[in-house]
Amino acid sequence: MTLRTFGFDEFGFLLQALHWTLLLTVIALIGGGLLGFAVALARTSSVQAIRFAAGTYIQVIQGIPVLMILFLSYYGLSLAGFELPPLFAAGASMTIYTSGYLAEIWRGCIQAVPKQQWEASESLAMTRLQQYRYVVLPQAGRISLPPTVGFAVQVVKNTSITSIIGFVELARAGQLINNATFQPFRVFIAVAVLYFVVCYPLSQLSRWLERRLHA
C-alpha cells in the first residue's frame, strides 16, 4: 500500500470542503441572526417575564459548550427517532450557538442608544414598535456592525467543531486527507491558511467599520 501525497487534487478537496464551511457559516449567521434578533428584542422588552426568559436562554447557550448543543441535536434527535443528515444537525446547533451570542451583542447595542432617544420619540407620541423601527434600531444597527462582523470570525472557526459528527467541512476534510497522506504539517498548514484567508479580511473589515463609526 502506498500513501498518497498532498498534491493538487487534495488541495481541491480542501477547497470544496471550504464551501461547506462557508455555507454552514452563512446558515448560522442567517438563522442565528433571526433568532438572536428576536431574543435581543425580548431581552429589552418592557415586560419583565419576557426579559427574564430571554436572559435565561442567553445564559444557558453561553454557559454550555457548542459541542453539547451539537451532540444534543445530532444524537439526541436521532434517538428520538429523527434521522437527521449531518448538515441539518450542524446547521441547527450552529444556529442556536450563534443566536445566543448575537442576542447578547445586539442587546448591548440597543441599550447603547441613549435613553434620551427613547424619551424624545416617546414624547412625540410614537408607539414602542415605532420607536424601535424608526429611532432605536437604525442607531443600534450602526453600532452593531463592527462587533457582529467580529463575531462572524468566531463562527467561521467554530464551524470546525461539526467535524465531530462527520460533517465534512474544512477541518474534517483536513483530517481525512491527513489519514490518507500522513503529511500533517502540509495538510494542516494548508487548512489553517484557508481559515486565515477567510477570517483575516473579516477582522480587517470589522476594524475598519469601527474606525469609521468613531470618526
Q: Contact between 212 and another protein (CB under 8 A)?
A: no
Stretch in the footprint of another protein (CB under 8 A) among 132-140, 144-152, 156-164, 189-197: 132-140
φ and ψ of 80, to 5 deg: -75, 5
Q: Within its chain, how far is the Cα of 79 from the centroid?
A: 26
Number of residues located near another protein, criterion CB under 8 A: 18
- Which position among 50, 67, 77, 126 is part of the footprint of another protein (CB under 8 A)? 126
Q: Residue 188's closest CA among 3, 1, 10?
A: 10
Residue 74 DSSP code:
I
CB of 49 vs another protein, minimal distance in Å: 18
Q: Contact between 124 and another protein (CB under 8 A)?
A: yes
Q: Which is nearer to another protein, 2 or 116 (CB)?
A: 116
Q: Which is nearer to another protein, 9 or 119 (CB)?
A: 119
**Cα–Cα distance for residue pair 23/91, rounded to 1 Å:** 9
Q: Residue 102's closest CA among 163, 160, 40, 164?
A: 40
CB of 90 vs another protein, minimal distance in Å: 37
CB of 117 vs another protein, minimal distance in Å: 6
Q: Contact between 116 and another protein (CB under 8 A)?
A: yes
Tell me the residue type at 17: A
Q: Contact between 213 and another protein (CB under 8 A)?
A: no
For residues 162 and 86, the answer to whether their CB atoms sit within 8 Å is yes
Stretch in the footprint of another protein (CB under 8 A) among 51-59, 73-81, 99-107, 128-136: 128-136
Q: Within its chain, how far is the Cα of 141 from the centroid?
A: 17
CB of 212 vs another protein, minimal distance in Å: 14
Tell me the residue type at 170: L
